Amino acid sequence: MLWLILVFIALFIWTFENVIDKFVISHDLKDPVTLVTIFGLVFGMIFLAVGVFLGDNFFNQSLILWAAVGGILYIIAVWLYFYLMEYGEVSRIVPIISLKPLVVVLVSFLVFNQRLEWYGYIGVLVIVFGAILISYQKTKRKIQKSHFFIGAAISVTAFSLRNIIIEHVTTDASIWSFLFWLGIMMMLSSLIIFAIHHPRIKKKAQLQGINIMAVTFVVSGFATVLFFKAIEMGTASLVTALSATMPLFVFIVITLISKYHPKIIHEKISKPILIRKLVAIVFIILGSVLLLV
């Protein structure tokens, strides 16, 4: 069950990264493209370094091709995630991104004929329902712009396909060799973005925000390595479904920060909202148990 421990270590780290992401993008670095450029460079260097030390059999044409596709999907997914973070509440966005299990299970079934037990599929649906419930927000205003939801759908799909690619590739190659090429592809993508976007980066970037995110990405990068290793050891469907429990951790952290340190991040939390989100958390935990049985 080592893979299970790796998943929850990654989720614990990502929970605090989500909070830091929201704080920085709201105060110091209001530019998703700048953030994804820093992200790609930092993560790319980490993946490359890990791959060099632990990988083997690097010159595999199929491996390079899948790494290129995975790298592009990863950059697109993260860019849209930062875009959503800029305009939405972290306790809503994280659950929306947590709908990845639905995509992963569907694609794994259709493409790779990978199946869960019947109660596993119920678990996925329960987790998805909990994620939707925890992100529901009553408002008198019109629903946010349609591109917000389109962006969320594309981001979720890109993250999901990345996970499926990792599982598919690591059946014949080590995760470390894949990370080597994934790191190169992500760094190249970031350099291309920087070349196109650098006037805005110079104008918008603030040193404090860049420093905070660089350190955060280093820690998060190693957490992602653990997550990818968990996918190699388990299955993309199961590992991705467990990642849907992250709204639970985010909800707890955001609630505490909103109550005791509202200057950092403040989200409106009334008694009905707390009850609804706690019920949603029960669904998320129940779904996770069904997946693990």
Residue partners of 150: CB distance under 8 A and separation at least 6: none
Angstrom CA distances, 128 to 134, 146, 153, 161, 167, stand at: 10, 21, 14, 17, 22
Q: How many CB atoms lie within 10 A of CB 18?
A: 24
Q: Which helix (H) or strand (E) holds 186?
A: helix 175-204
The answer to whether 235 touches 170, Cβ cutoff 8 Å, is no
Q: What are phi and psi of 136, to 5 degrees?
A: -65, 140
Q: Which of 43, 26, 25 is nearest to 34 (CA)?
A: 25
Q: Which helix (H) or strand (E) holds 42?
A: helix 32-54
Q: Look at the block and give the residue holding tokens 């499926």.
A: 164
Residue by residue, pLDDT tens for the chain (293 residues) are 799 999 999 999 999 998 888 888 877 777 888 889 999 999 999 999 999 998 787 788 899 999 999 999 999 999 998 888 877 767 677 777 777 777 777 777 777 777 778 888 888 888 778 877 766 665 544 445 566 778 888 998 999 899 889 888 888 888 999 999 999 999 999 989 888 876 665 555 566 778 888 999 999 999 999 999 998 898 777 787 788 778 788 888 888 888 888 777 777 677 787 788 788 878 877 887 787 66
pTM confidence score: 0.83
Secondary structure percentages of the chain, helix, strand, coil, to 5 = 80, 0, 20
Q: How many CB atoms lie within 10 A of CB 288?
A: 20
Please count the structural domains in the chain: 1
End-to-end CA distance of the chain: 13
93 domain residue, yes or no: yes
Length of the chain: 293
Exposure of 285 in the CB half-sphere (CA atoms within 13 A): 8
135 domain residue, yes or no: no
Give the largest CA-CA distance in the chain: 57
pLDDT of residue 55: 79
11 domain residue, yes or no: yes
Domain boundaries, position 109: 2-116+144-235
104 domain residue, yes or no: yes
61 domain residue, yes or no: yes
pLDDT of residue 9: 95
Q: Which of 224, 174, 180 is nearest to 49 (CA)?
A: 180
284 domain residue, yes or no: no
290 domain residue, yes or no: no
248 domain residue, yes or no: no
The answer to whether 7 touches 292, Cβ cutoff 8 Å, is no
CA pair distance 245, 92, nearest whole angstrom: 13
CA pair distance 276, 95, nearest whole angstrom: 14
Three-state SS letters, 269-286: CCHHHHHHHHHHHHHHHH
Three-state SS letters, 227-238: HHHHHHHCCHHH
CA pair distance 243, 13, nearest whole angstrom: 12
Residue partners of 198: CB distance under 8 A and separation at least 6: none
